[in-house]
């Protein structure tokens, strides 16, 4: 099963690299641009995905949130403010997203895949959490002691991002930017065949032409193969799995199929 997801948030990445005082509207427009392109691709390929949305983005893009729902995708929670996540976001974001979209929010992903209280997720009625990258990425993640495939924890299904078998190479968004595409596809297919599922995520702002904005001070490994090239790469990955007759599903659909 192929689980595609997109962390749908306001574009705050320049703030991580010292760029301050950017208008909120600028960040929203970058993410809106990318989200439209993602939705167009998914519609053309007739596959569904899960969109982990911050309430900050959702409230500033009601038309796109409506499109996500109407086109059969899943809305899940990505907290409230991506730059400044707070413990209470687990509660507030679910309520606000459900009020806005009229659909039940069943899943959560903490901004930047930081830890989140599983006890609170269960208390709030979440069925799954996808806030784990079970790899070693210096300066960001050190989770080699965690399971690399979905597992139940205190009544909430944990759905980690995919890493390769054996040596746990992360197959997340940066890998799609930087690996040779033939190698990414080979490792993605290997992981899917080995595990029975492939869990991948991107962000809408990655599909914006980031190279055109050196003033944002974004590292090369993020700007590389962004915009149109990343959209092409994602499309090739989707079509590869379709040729393999792999099933695409939203995260909540996957949860419901578990024994």
94-130 pLDDT, tens digit per residue, is: 999 999 999 999 999 999 899 999 999 999 999 999 9
Cα(133)–Cα(140) distance, integer angstroms: 10
> How far from each other are the two terminal CA atoms of the chain, in whole angstroms?
15
Question: What's residue 57's pLDDT?
Answer: 96
Below-50 pLDDT ranges, the chain = none
- Residue 208: name the closest of 193, 188, 229 by CA: 229
Cα(72)–Cα(252) distance, integer angstroms: 12
Cα(259)–Cα(141) distance, integer angstroms: 30
Question: What's residue 44's pLDDT?
Answer: 98
The CATH architecture annotation of domain 2-256 reads Alpha-Beta Barrel (3.20)
Cα(27)–Cα(182) distance, integer angstroms: 32
- Residue 27: name the closest of 76, 85, 73, 81 by CA: 81
- Residue 6: name the closest of 74, 85, 56 by CA: 74
Question: What's residue 83's pLDDT?
Answer: 85
Compute CA distances 60 → 32, 70, 134, 152, whole Å: 10, 18, 32, 34
Over its C-alpha atoms, the chain yields an Rg (Å, rounded) of 17
Cα(33)–Cα(206) distance, integer angstroms: 10
Cα(30)–Cα(45) distance, integer angstroms: 23
Question: What's residue 19's pLDDT?
Answer: 81
Compute CA distances 107 → 110, 215, 251, whole Å: 10, 35, 8
Task: Enter the tokens of residue 197.
Answer: 């599922």
Question: What's residue 169's pLDDT?
Answer: 95
Task: Enter the tokens of residue 151.
Answer: 């597992």
Question: What's residue 18's pLDDT?
Answer: 78
Contact between 41 and 235 (Cβ < 8 Å): yes
């Amino acid at each position: 099963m192929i689980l595609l997801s997109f962390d749908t948030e306001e574009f705050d990445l320049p703030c991580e690299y010292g760029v301050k005082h950017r208008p909120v509207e600028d960040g929203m427009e970058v993410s809106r641009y990318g989200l439209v392109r993602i939705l167009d691709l998914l519609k053309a390929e007739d596959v569904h995905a899960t969109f982990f949305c911050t309430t900050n983005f959702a409230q500033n893009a009601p038309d796109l949130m409506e499109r996500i729902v109407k086109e059969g995708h899943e809305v899940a929670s990505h907290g409230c403010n991506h730059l400044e996540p707070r413990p209470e976001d687990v509660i507030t974001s679910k309520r606000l997203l459900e009020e806005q979209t009229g659909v039940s929010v069943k899943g959560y992903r903490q901004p930047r895949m930081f830890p989140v209280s599983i006890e609170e997720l269960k208390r709030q009625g979440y069925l799954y959490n996808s806030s784990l990258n079970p790899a070693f990425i210096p300066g960001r993640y050190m989770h080699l002691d965690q399971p690399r495939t979905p597992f139940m924890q205190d009544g909430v299904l944990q759905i980690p991002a995919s890493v390769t078998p054996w040596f746990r190479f992360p197959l997340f968004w940066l890998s799609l930017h930087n690996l040779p595409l033939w190698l990414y596809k080979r490792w993605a297919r290997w992981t899917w065949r080995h595990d029975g599922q492939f869990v991948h995520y991107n962000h809408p702002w990655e599909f914006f032409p980031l190279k055109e904005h050196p003033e944002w001070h974004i590292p090369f490994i993020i700007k590389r193969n962004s915009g149109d090239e990343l959209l092409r790469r994602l499309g090739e990955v989707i079509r590869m799995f379709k040729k393999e007759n792999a099933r695409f599903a939203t995260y909540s659909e996957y949860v419901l199929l578990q024994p």
